[in-house]
Chains A and B, each alone.
Chain A
Amino acid sequence: MVISVASGKGGTGKTTIAVSLALSIENSQIIDCDVEEPNARLFLNPEIKQKIEVTSVIPKVDKEKCNLCGYCSNVCAYNALSVIKLDSSGDVILFPQLCHGCEGCILLCPEKAMQKDYRTIGEITVGSRENVEFIEGKLNISEVLAPKIIEEAKKFIKPDKITIIDAPPGTSCPAVAAVKGSDFCILVTEPTPFGLHDLELAYEATRALKIKSGVIINKSGDDQLIEEFCRKNKIHVLLKIPFNREIAETYSKGIPLVKAMPQYKEIFQKIYKDIKENL
């Protein structure tokens, strides 16, 4: 089973929930798909066993064959190629960070002057802690192909395990790439107008992806705003975590919630049971 934890807005407690859930149930793996800012590792402190580079295809120009016709630059929808033609010479300039790896230029070059080359855009780290398998995708600074790293990280999903995916914030392509294919999505929110606004968007995204969802209200207090939304849309509120200074301090030190407050272990087990029955 794959359960993703998403939020719309950042800083609502996704990682807290994802890590605590993974630590509370048997036979789990956690995949940190917040590849721009992966944080699960800080809470889990896993023993790292393996690191794998993630590469993307880029074109390499064979200058012998290239006649600077400029066709590659025309077909590139991402403006990653520029062809400069001077009287007696010229050059094909690649802006690697704009390249999406569609390989169109390689395929369509009339002179067959382009070959596949690879460049590193990030890294997958694999490890474990206390029977929780840990996988983290991390995008290199100044790279943009977050969905590609997410897809690579998700290749580590083991069907015989319970997979928890820590999704990136927002509702655009990286968040969708992370949540896509999940059996259930936990939406973490805060009881503020900001929280509600982002929850609405995140909920729309899960609906577009046809994924069942439930809500966890973090920093719970006066939750009317969120509860009303959940009631209206028939979304199950799985849990409320009160706003509590001790929880905030524990988080700030990088201690998982279920470690600092073991009473939460049973609560997370129950959430898992609820989700299983809900599917």
Chain B
Amino acid sequence: MKQILVISGKGGTGKTFFTGCLATALHNKVLVDCDVDAANLHLLLHPQIKQAHDFIGGKIALIDKTKCIQCGVCKEVCKFDAIDNDFQVEELSCEGCTICSYVCPEKAILLKDRVSGQYFVSETKYGTLVHAQLGIAQENSGKLVTKLRELAKEIAQIEKAEYIVIDGPPGVGCPVMASMTGVDLAIAVTEPTLSGMHDLKRLIELAKHFKVPVKVVINKYDLNDEMSSQMVKELEHLGIEVCGKIPFSEEILASVKACKPFLEFAKNSLASEIAGLIDKII
């Protein structure tokens, strides 16, 4: 079983569009949407939810007003300024370190599970999809990503799937790291822009750290041919292969607006070109 991660550094470069292409082109796979902050893959794949689970992202402190004597010890030890002057725990600031509960002389601090979101196992016409929705302003997205990947792996083993295809989150932070550990290949989708290049370099550094091979696809390459050529050169220098270039296309935009994977939406020469590109990469 091969785990393939689609990733971008910068958001909005076409990760989900490309994952949608993989979903259509590859057979016998489990799909995972690890962009738990702003999951979009479901908009293309139209999943039917079979299982929904609460995701417990850690603990949150709660002060029992009937026991609290407002001595202030908890406020003093909290490094996240999560306890306000009325001795209320500010949920958005509490990082669940639980230290306040150890120091409270009145045992007035309770720790409750923090439901940080939900995760789902769904059926799509492209295969099983594991996805999630992190609650607004919740943390531990890395942990949720890990959960999704574990679940996907279990399902892939049961289904004897050949591939796990992962739609990754943007950036280089904890959810990205959680998406990247142990994958067989990361496909970085980038745009020929100064910021695209900048963010891609940070991503490559991260992949190196995790010893994950990276291949690059330049999306909308003809928006700036010069920048695209420069990118190819710079990446070559870093020992990274640019394995494909996709032109800017109104058709691709139309497929996104129609909420359909591009390879299913269009049967034109660009679609066969992309299908060929996928054959080459995988």
Q: Do A and B come from one complex?
A: yes
Residues on A lying within 8 angstroms of B by beta carbon are 8-12, 15, 36-37, 39, 42, 57, 75, 77-78, 100-104, 107-108, 139, 141-142, 144, 146, 168-176, 180, 190, 192-194, 197-198, 201, 204-205, 208-209, 222, 245, 248-249, 251-254
CB of B37 within 8 A of CB of A11, answer no
List 23 A-B residue pairs with CB atoms under 8 Å apart, sorted by A's residue number: A9-B12, A10-B170, A11-B10, A11-B13, A12-B11, A36-B173, A102-B97, A169-B37, A169-B38, A170-B141, A170-B169, A172-B139, A173-B141, A176-B92, A192-B256, A193-B259, A197-B43, A198-B38, A209-B92, A252-B193, A252-B196, A252-B224, A254-B193
Q: Cβ of B33: which chain A residues have Cβ within 8 Å of it?
A: none
Q: Cβ of B223: which chain A residues have Cβ within 8 Å of it?
A: 245, 248-249, 252
Interface size on B, residues (CB 8 A): 61
- How many whole Å from A231's CB to the nearest CB in chain B? 20
CB of B206 within 8 A of CB of A142, answer yes
Chain B contacts with A in 118-158, Cβ cutoff 8 A: 134, 136-139, 141-142
Contact with A along B227-261 (1 / 0, CB 8 A): 10000000000000000000010000100110100
Closest to B37 in A: A170
CB of B224 within 8 A of CB of A194, answer no
Closest to B220 in A: A248
Chain B contacts with A in 62-89, Cβ cutoff 8 A: 77, 79-80
Q: Cβ of A172: which chain B residues have Cβ within 8 Å of it?
A: 36-37, 134, 137-139, 141
Whether a CB of chain A sits under 8 angstroms from the CB of B198 is: yes
CB of B205 within 8 A of CB of A36, answer no
Given contacts A10-B170, A37-B199, A77-B96, 14 further A-B contacts (CB under 8 A): A11-B10, A36-B172, A39-B198, A75-B98, A100-B97, A103-B99, A104-B102, A144-B142, A169-B11, A175-B37, A198-B38, A201-B37, A209-B137, A251-B193
Q: Cβ of B196: which chain A residues have Cβ within 8 Å of it?
A: 252
The contact of A11 among B12, B43, B194, B198, by CB within 8 Å, is B12
Complex CA gap A37/B7 in Å reads 14
- Number of cross-chain contacts by CB at 8 Å: 173
Whether a CB of chain A sits under 8 angstroms from the CB of B211 is: no
Q: Taking chain B's interface residues, is the majority helix, strand, or loop, or is none over half, making it mixed?
A: loop
